[in-house]
Amino acid sequence: MKILMLTWEYPPRIVGGIARVVNDLSKRLIKDGHEVTVITYREGEAPYYENDKGVDVYRVDNYMINPNNFIDWIMQLNFNMIAKANELIAENGKFDVIHAHDWLVAYSAKTLKNSYGIPLVSTIHATEAGRNSGIHDETQRYVNDTEWLLTYESSEVIVNSKFMKNDLQRLFGLPYEKINVIANGVNTNSYSGVERDYEFRRQYAADNEKIILFMGRLVYEKGVQHLISAMPKILDGYHDAKLVIAGKGGMIDELRAQVEAMGLSQKVYFTGYLNAKQVSKMYKCADVSVFPSTYEPFGIVALEAMLAGVPTVVSDVGGLNEIVEHGVDGMKSYAGNPNSLADSILALLLNPELCDKVSKNAKLKVKNEYNWGKIAQDTYFTYEKAICQTMAERQAHQMLQEKAKKAKKAKGTENEITNLLSFKKRQAYA
């Protein structure tokens, strides 16, 4: 099967989780014998074309106009994506299916689908209403409407959790049968051969300190502010604890100020951005990983922590709530509740047996349920559904056209007979 992936981020450009999902899914589909082409945005010195382990990756610039805002920038990106896809189709023929990732590529996906009659599948990784706890301004309204447009134009829609399925059905009125729940995955071999590096660990904490690790973007919905607020209670119960916050984002200054105001400067460390190798090392150095999100469609970073063997605490929201079974393969806490967070973290810090149990169960769960082999197979079946549906729609359309032609012909014959009888009647009276 020839598959076209449309995405605004792909390695080395990584803004959120979409880049990793598209990258891992594409490579697994290649391994399964499919042809995958990715069209994405070019950033920095990334090549305009590369073969990434079998995946044909084409990157486009945004150079035609000077955009006034982010929406203009996105529209320009879509124009350039369409141009590149047209070029590839002219050279190599049509794709069997288009897979669009999120609203940012909605217009290029819609245009290519309608221009060439190619079945369209879309993945909605998150919703604007979910990210912002509702729609509050015109820009958010525009994004929300574009999300709806993409789902409307798609034969099949993929989401990564039951929570997201319910969210899309509620927001956009999509039929349940149109929405396919296919979880995100991780490379199950990511941490093979990676051991705890004590010299690396000493950059962030003393040997006697247990590391409580947050890994992710520093934005409101990730809930880091609630984790910082939980630290006094955690330290009362376990003094030799250190919170390490790994990542970057718009809240960094606000979070640093919160730490300073609470007198926690010696117990909270901000690492800033970490590359892939450093991330792997950090997971192996952590004693507890925490993901206190207030909104989370899925939570790949939680899976990565679980795979690395780190006892994990998540909030009871969205996809995180579906990943972890409390007390079995991780711990849960009430979203936005520092006391609940502290209780779950302390339960792990104070109970080595519980840590051992949940970490072993978590690693096994990730390997069995969240591997890319299973996910790619489920995605392929969704492509097949979209292709079959498109063919059925075409056949139905052709049948309607034929009926219309027959009806038109019959009506014409009827009119001819009526006119002839009228003529003969007029002749008789003449």
- Angstrom distance (rounded) from CA 330 to CA 287: 13
Neighbours of 200 (CB within 10 A): 14
DSSP state of 214: E
- Fold match, 2-181 / 198-369: yes
**DSSP assignments along 97-151, one per residue:** EEEEESGGGHHHHHHHHHHHT--EEEE----HHHHTTS--SHHHHHHHHHHHHHH
Residue range 2-181 in CATH 3.40.50.970: no
Write down the pTM of the prediction: 0.80
Regarding beta strands 241-246 and 268-272, do their DSSP bridges make them parallel or antiparallel, or are they unpaired?
parallel
Q: Looking up tokens 């038109």, which residue turns up?
A: 408
Per-residue pLDDT at 42: 94
Mean pLDDT by 10 residues, the chain (430 residues): 96 87 95 97 93 96 71 91 97 96 96 96 93 88 95 95 92 92 88 87 95 94 96 96 94 96 96 90 95 90 93 94 94 96 97 96 93 93 91 63 66 64 60
Domain made up of 198-369: CATH architecture: 3-Layer(aba) Sandwich (3.40)
- Domain positions in the chain are 2-181, 198-369
Mean pLDDT estimate for the chain: 90
Tens of pLDDT along 163-176? 999 999 999 999 98
